[in-house]
Structure 1
Amino acid sequence: MSQEKLTAAVEALAEKFGIPGAAVGVLAGGRETHAFHGVTSVADPLPVDERTLFHLASVTKTFTATALTRLAAEGRVDLDAPVRRYVPELRLADEEAAARITVSNLLNHTAGLDWNLIDTDEGDGSLVAFVAKMAGLTLIAPPGARASYSQAGYNLAGRIIEHVTGLPYERAVAALVLEPIGLSNTFFDLDEVMTRRFAVGHNRDEDGTLVPARPWTSWRAGSHGNNPGGGIVSSVSDLLRWARFHLGAGDGVLPAEALRRMRERTVALRASTLGDGIGIGWFLKDVDGVRTIGHAGSGNGQFAELLIVPERDFAVVSLANAGPDGHPFNQAVVRWVLEEHLGLAERDPEPMPYDEGRAREVAGRYEIDVMNLDLATDGLEVTLGVGIKPEIRQRSDADMPPDHPPARIGFLPGDEYIIVEGGLKGQRGFFTRDDDGAVTGVDLAGRLFTRATDHGQAGRRPVAR
């Protein structure tokens, strides 16, 4: 792939999605190709380049998982052991479940923990404070029963790293992973970031104008207590180096076999845009019959996407600094690169015609600890809107990302659906039912949203007559 062709594609997609600044990198057969678009900030513009720092948000989880995998390879952590072996102070509302959760449950999102509503900034912002506040958390499922994406689980994993190494999480990950791999442009410390060129996130105000997002990091990952799940900052060049490491033989940091095990499926995912399974820190997806591993991240107006194709010695990185369209921009870039360079085409499934019976039984409000999801029907179409709970917004001093307004969804076979417009276009999910056939939850972006209110007959499968 020529740099000119990649640059032209990135420029066209950035214009289409209204992205002020983006960095894209492709690794193919050991050779890197970069493409850049626009500026770091509309308020104080500098050109984006290969060393411009972006907040990677949840891509951080691949670093946390790799650090724990190294500790496991060194015999210092047993991934199948209960978390309490390493974090004896862990308490949850369900004590039996707290004793059963394993390290692996945290790494593949099967611990049963809700997403994450713990304000460690009220204390000292540490992982110690985070774990102390977990005592009030209830479980959304028994440990090991199902996957549901959890920031809290990865933050708890970070506390394991602290206990085992005797170091703060950030210093431990630097020593275990960043420094030996040579990731010299990857940081947790904002003092390090502020002395370098960095991208500013942007959100759209009510009239659609892009404005700088504040705070700079995500409102969900703005303290040390949230760093293991979403606090890392890096550049396209360092992310390609990270991909090289995971495509290689371990570089003396990890045995090659341990790297390979990170790519093996530990749990299946159903109807998820994230993939069809989870390894150790990686989402696994077959694209046109070829296995890929990857992870995405979304911060406050910043979005990151990393996809690796091990059997083709290939990787692609896409970083964008505008929400909510940074996500579909990154998805479009990755799909274009895969088809252009590897001939792998990923297509969204076609939705079925509108079904009023299905529409009425799913209509209602669903929630996780920090967000509401609303499904509604007007008799002609079904819409899905998702946003931060008003009470969370009211308590926060931060300018939080805007909500996703109602967007049309289409039904797919087997209680599955796909979003067909808006900033979440292409996201897939499914509805969960109880033993009586009532819809009790909806999965979106790997997270289980549970039904919030009693809607009478809403949620029940129509009875055949």
Structure 2
Amino acid sequence: MSQEQQLAGFVEAKAEELGVPGVAVGVLMDGRETYASHGVTSLDNPLPVDERTLFHLASVSKTFTATALMRLVEAGKVDLDAPVRRYVPELELADEETAERITVLNLLNHTGGLDWALLDTGEEDGTLPSYVARMAQLPLIAPPGARPSYSQAGYNLAGRIVEKVTGLSFEKAISSLVLEPLGLSNTFYDPEDVMIRRFAVGHNLGEDGTMRSAQPWKAFRPGDRANNPGGGIASSASDLLRWARFHLGTTAADSVLPADALRRMQSETVALRGSTLGDAFGIAWFLRDIDGVHTIGHGGSGNGQFAELLVVPERNFAVVALSNAGPDGYVFNQAALRWTLEHYLGVVEHAPEPLPYDAAAAHEVVGHYENDAMNLDIATDGSRLTLAVGIKPEIREASDMEMPPDYPAAAMGLLPGGDDEYVITEGGLADQRGFFTRDDAGTIVGVDLAGRLFGRRDDRQRR
């Protein structure tokens, strides 16, 4: 059986096993592209998925925003170390010193101290100026540069820099700086461009076990442009492999971004601790060593749609996985990345083994944690720890949109080494790693999940 047939067999079997309606996987190896797709774009209006089917990429969008900004850096129009206020002088944050100090690089490597923040602009067609005008409401979690914490707000603010410097709308600027020069003709922000082509509809598994179409199509208000820099793009497996070729430096695209600028994006700017996402941030990219091999990548999760792009620069290899069901689309994508790494490169990712349950350690971490948009609860029944995470009820109630379901309580375990790290061992977040943060007195005051900091808010912390 050929490698292409093996890939197709894996994709079909795993998608069927997990009940994901539609998936697309693309592999770039030795300059050759291989695709395997399975299933349908939508359960209600089914069309076959293929390598040109459009999926909402959510946070993979950040790699496009960062690349456009790097083009402006190379042109001498933006300085990564300059304060954001040089380009967006109207910026106001909850703390004036932070507003003065936060730099462009702080936005691109998530060290700005900004909370996650899907801010409501108050407009149907929310714009970046209106988003930035509301950023003074945004909670701050640390001084700029003090620690990494994944932030949608930071990238939306970066998008405003692109607008101010180019004098164009963000979407037109990205098209001019990135999409058109690289021939990414099947990559779009506007749903009106998407709807005239074959595209995947997200699905979410209801409490009754029924898979239903997700609404809205993106994870934020239809027409809301303010979140496009951090999560608004739609693309296909074939265009994403073209994107990977560019970042590998294997296309004749030096006029877009020279090799040293690409390498700069792929070089460590800040280390990450205890994260499944990576060992460090470059510029946009998560950097991770797997079985001794250096990789760069980024994932995205939208409303019932999931995307993963992983690149191995030293092997001229890339894999993209796209799926249209929550929560197991994420599980499918992670399995596809592991399978392709092993079968194409012989690279095996080894899952960490948690420690046996310890009552005293469990008591220390049990509690309620939250950020500006989500709650996270860690509990114990006396024999195991569980973690549940979901959108805050008040945000659900205030929204006129359907939102993705929460992740129910799933088993987790603490990891050896005494570094306050943990791993989730079941459910839709299986294999996600994170860590607990302590204050100077040694009290646990926060937990990191998927790169985001959740501050402790239970009675123990208030004391």
TM-score past 0.5 threshold: yes
Deviations 1:106-127 (A, max 9, x none): 0000000000041024365000
* Shift in Å, 1:209: 1.0
Write out the 4+ residue segments of structure 1 that deviate beyond 4 Å after TM superposition.
none
**2-side partners of 1:221 and 1:308: how far apart?**
31
Pick which of 2-11 and 265-274 moved more: 2-11
Corresponding position of 1:288: 291
SS at match of 2:171: helix
Pick which of 412-421 and 213-222 moved more: 213-222
Match of 2:313 among 310, 314, 322: 310
Contact 1:221 1:231 in 2 (8 A): no
- Is 1:169 the counterpart of 2:174? The answer is no
- 1:221–1:434 CA distance, 2 compared to 1 (3 A): farther
Match of 1:383 among 370, 374, 386: 386
SS at match of 1:14: helix
Corresponding position of 2:275: 272
Contact 1:94 1:138 in 2 (8 A): no
Corresponding position of 2:459: 454
Contact 2:307 2:322 in 1 (8 A): yes
* Shift in Å, 1:457: 10
Contact 2:265 2:284 in 1 (8 A): yes
Corresponding position of 1:359: 362
Deviations 1:215-246 (A, max 9, x none): 01113786100000000000000000000000
Corresponding position of 1:91: 92
**2-side partners of 1:143 and 1:281: how far apart?**
17
- 1:388–1:220 CA distance, 2 compared to 1 (3 A): farther
Corresponding position of 1:463: none
Contact 1:222 1:231 in 2 (8 A): no
Contact 2:22 2:324 in 1 (8 A): yes
Q: Which one-letter code corresponds to 1:309 in the other structure? A: V
Deviations 1:119-152 (A, max 9, x none): 0243650000000000122310010000000000
* Shift in Å, 1:455: 2.4
Deviations 1:397-454 (A, max 9, x none): 1111100000010110311000000000000000000111110000000000000122
Q: Which one-letter code corresponds to 2:110 in the other structure? A: H
Any gaps of 5 or more consecutive residues in structure 2? none
Deviations 1:154-203 (A, max 9, x none): 00000000000000000000000000000000000111101000000000
Match of 1:350 among 328, 334, 353: 353
Cα root mean square deviation, aligned? 1.3
> Where do residues 105-184 of structure 1 align in structure 2 (5 Å cutoff)?
105-122=106-123, 124-184=125-185
Corresponding position of 1:333: 336
* Shift in Å, 1:274: 0.5
Match of 1:427 among 428, 432, 435: 432
**1-side partners of 2:62 and 2:457: how far apart?**
29
SS at match of 2:33: strand
Deviations 1:314-360 (A, max 9, x none): 00000000001111110000000000000000011000000111111
Q: Which one-letter code corresponds to 2:186 in the other structure? A: N
- 1:161–1:221 CA distance, 2 compared to 1 (3 A): farther
**1-side partners of 2:433 and 2:228: how far apart?**
27
- Is 1:236 the counterpart of 2:237? The answer is yes
**2-side partners of 1:51 and 1:284: how far apart?**
27
**1-side partners of 2:409 and 2:14: how far apart?**
24
SS at match of 1:81: coil
SS at match of 2:332: helix
Match of 1:322 among 320, 325, 331: 325
**1-side partners of 2:335 and 2:3: how far apart?**
18
**2-side partners of 1:457 and 1:399: how far apart?**
33
**2-side partners of 1:359 and 1:221: how far apart?**
42
Q: Which one-letter code corresponds to 2:227 in the other structure? A: N
Contact 1:57 1:231 in 2 (8 A): yes
Corresponding position of 1:190: 191
Pick which of 228-237 and 217-226 moved more: 217-226
**2-side partners of 1:130 and 1:228: how far apart?**
12
- 1:85–1:221 CA distance, 2 compared to 1 (3 A): farther
> Where do residues 401-440 of structure 1 align in structure 2 (5 Å cutoff)?
401-413=404-416, 414-440=419-445
Corresponding position of 1:104: 105
Contact 1:181 1:251 in 2 (8 A): no
**2-side partners of 1:431 and 1:318: how far apart?**
30
Corresponding position of 1:442: 447
**2-side partners of 1:448 and 1:138: how far apart?**
12
How many equivalent residue pairs?
458
Contact 1:121 1:223 in 2 (8 A): no
Contact 1:245 1:251 in 2 (8 A): no
Contact 1:302 1:326 in 2 (8 A): yes
Q: Which one-letter code corresponds to 1:425 in the other structure? A: A
Q: Which one-letter code corresponds to 2:208 in the other structure? A: D
Contact 1:159 1:169 in 2 (8 A): yes
- Is 1:4 the counterpart of 2:9? The answer is no
- 1:381–1:397 CA distance, 2 compared to 1 (3 A): same
Deviations 1:372-406 (A, max 9, x none): 00000111111000000000000111111100000
**2-side partners of 1:27 and 1:356: how far apart?**
47
* Shift in Å, 1:84: 0.3
SS at match of 1:180: coil
Match of 2:265 among 250, 262, 267: 262
Q: What is the TM-score with the length of structure 1 in the denominator?
A: 0.97
Corresponding position of 2:300: 297
Identity between Structure 1 and Structure 2 (%): 69
**2-side partners of 1:408 and 1:222: how far apart?**
38
**2-side partners of 1:246 and 1:294: how far apart?**
11
**2-side partners of 1:111 and 1:357: how far apart?**
35
**2-side partners of 1:360 and 1:287: how far apart?**
33
**1-side partners of 2:184 and 2:32: how far apart?**
18
